[in-house]
Amino acid sequence: MSGEPDRDRARPRRPWPRSPRERAEPAFPAGFARGHRNRAALAVLASLPSLTPRRLVALAARVPTAGAALTAVRRGGQSSDDDRARAAELDGEAVLRGAADAGARLVGVGDGEYPASLLDLFDPPAGIFVRGADLRSAAARVAVVGARNPTPDGEDASAGLASALAGAGACVVSGAARGIDAAAHRGALAVSGATIAVLGCGIDVAYPRQNASLIERIAERGTVLSEYPPGTRAEPFRFPARNRIVAGLSRAVVIVEGASGSGSMITADHALDLGRDVFAVPGPVTSELATVPLALIRDGATMIRGAGDLLEDLGMMPEAGSSPGPPGSGAAISMLAADEAAVLGAVSGSASLERIASGAGLPVSRTIAALVGLEVRGLVRARGGRYEPRPRPG
């Protein structure tokens, strides 16, 4: 033994639930980004690498507008010398044109579209670049995040939870990363639901490249946003920063798989600091990817076994009497969509997702969406990654 303390054992238990941070005064003065000149100045400020959101919040406490903040940076002493030089060279109008060329718009703090929930952050962005649907169109926002290299069961769980949330009217928020994040976005899109992708790079940069087509689909049918202007490369330090925005946007965060030291725990910690609800999907104690969910559950996060638990805890379950009949009744079954009817017919005994998809003649994504609908209706239940029919009444 090295004699070093066991860091996990020595880690203090998180107080649970945490109370959200209280800000003594607004993060930005009223009208900070109001008007085209201030918007152009904000585009330059967002392009300065060393002017972090926390530093800009501190600067905004002393100046009334983004234009005044830019003037202060150009005079020196408010950020790095490199930032001062870059601020002198950059043309805010050019940055705004670059965003427009990418199909994006700059939404400044104080704009009607700027999500007020982001102001709960200790270091909220003064502006965000947005592609796609207006952020005001999103109702309840729930984040689903997790491992980049998940198990197949983890991907299925993520897609199923996202489909259930979207089907219940929530907007699914995630980080567009490979693995659990991508599965969550796909699950929402599979049921034509709302989803928001938060990037850790420029609004015009598809990262990871393998998710480029997915990000484009989200921009067409949902919303893509970033605090970074066009052309900003994906770099490791940007992803923890991205995770705070995922948490800030959302009323609750769901963790599906995550190894020790992963971004999943960073997102959960941000959610706790903001007083958001945190849910976790348990996994086998022998699995490294179960480390984060099990640690969160041990410290007080709400364990969920599937979509039914999550919707119930969020208060999104269909009201009694809103369905055409009791679960499993002939009336309820007669009202099933075609995919749901095909999947229900393929569920016999205890069947795997792949077997059900094959039996229904449907792709896995549509099968997951149908299973979520059947589970919410009380017609099937998930057990250990497999599905079985629920006994019908009478």
What is the tens place of the pLDDT at every residue in 331-378? 344 446 778 888 888 887 788 888 898 888 888 878 887 887 787 777
Q: How far apart are CA 373 and CA 360, in angstroms?
A: 15
Same domain, 270 and 207: yes
- Residue 18: the pLDDT is 60
Q: What band does 319 get if pLDDT is binned at 50, 70 and 90?
A: low
Same domain, 286 and 334: no
Residues 259-287: tens digit of each pLDDT: 988 889 999 999 999 999 999 999 999 99
313, 343, 363: which is the final residue of a domain? 313
Quick check: 14 pLDDT over 70?
Answer: no
Tokens of 304: 């969920």
Same domain, 188 and 264: yes
Q: Which residue has the higher pLDDT, 12 or 367?
A: 367
- Domain-embedded: residue 96: no
Contacts of 121 (CB under 8 A, 6+ apart): 27, 244, 245, 248, 270, 274
Same domain, 278 and 381: no
Tokens of 386: 């497999």
Quick check: 323 pLDDT over 60?
Answer: no
φ/ψ (deg, to 5) at 237: -70, -15
CA 54 to chain centre: 22
The whole-number average pLDDT for the span 228-235 is 95
Vertex 328 angle, CA 324 and 331, to 5°? 35
> Any idea which of 182-196, 209-223, 224-238, 309-323 has the lowest mean pLDDT?
309-323
> Any idea which of 102-111, 227-236, 358-367 has the lowest mean pLDDT?
358-367
The whole-number average pLDDT for the span 39-58 is 97
Same domain, 205 and 141: yes
Q: How many residues does the chain have?
A: 394
Same domain, 281 and 166: yes
Same domain, 154 and 285: yes
Q: Which residue has the higher pLDDT, 319 or 169?
A: 169
- Residue 103: the pLDDT is 97
Residue 345 belongs to a domain with what CATH number?
1.10.10.10
- Residue 308: the pLDDT is 84
Q: Which residue has the higher pLDDT, 254 or 385?
A: 254
- Residue 22: the pLDDT is 63
- Domain-embedded: residue 185: yes
Q: Which residue has the higher pLDDT, 141 or 23?
A: 141
Quick check: 24 pLDDT over 60?
Answer: no
Q: Which residue has the higher pLDDT, 394 or 16?
A: 16
Nearest by Cα to 230 from 97, 54, 354: 97
Strands (E), 18-149: 104-108, 127-132, 141-146
Q: How far apart are CA 358 and CA 365, in angstroms?
A: 12
Q: How far apart are CA 284 and CA 320, in angstroms?
A: 34
Same domain, 215 and 354: no
Q: Which domain holds residue 375?
A: 330-389
- Residue 108: the pLDDT is 98
Contacts of 197 (CB under 8 A, 6+ apart): 174, 175, 176, 185, 215, 218, 222, 223, 224, 225
252, 286, 313: which is the final residue of a domain? 313
Same domain, 337 and 378: yes
- Residue 372: the pLDDT is 78
- Residue 341: the pLDDT is 81
- Residue 191: the pLDDT is 86
Residues 114-158: tens digit of each pLDDT: 999 999 999 999 999 999 999 998 779 999 999 999 999 899 899
Residue 236 belongs to a domain with what CATH number?
3.40.50.450
Q: How far apart are CA 78 and CA 58, in angstroms?
A: 10
Do the strands 302-303 and 380-383 form a parallel or antiparallel pair, or are they unpaired? unpaired
Within the chain, how many helices (H) and strands (E) appear?
17, 11
| CA count, 13 A, side-chain hemisphere, 136 | 5
- Residue 4: the pLDDT is 36
280, 313, 346: which is the final residue of a domain? 313
| Residue 383: its H or E element | strand 380-383
Count of structural domains, the chain: 2
- Domain-embedded: residue 69: no
**Which SS3 state, helix, strand or coil, does residue 79 take?**
coil
Q: Which amino acid is at 68?
A: A
Q: What band does 202 get if pLDDT is binned at 50, 70 and 90?
A: very high
Residues 67-83: tens digit of each pLDDT: 999 999 999 999 999 99
Q: Which residue has the higher pLDDT, 99 or 390?
A: 99
- Residue 345: the pLDDT is 84
- Domain-embedded: residue 24: no
- Residue 325: the pLDDT is 40
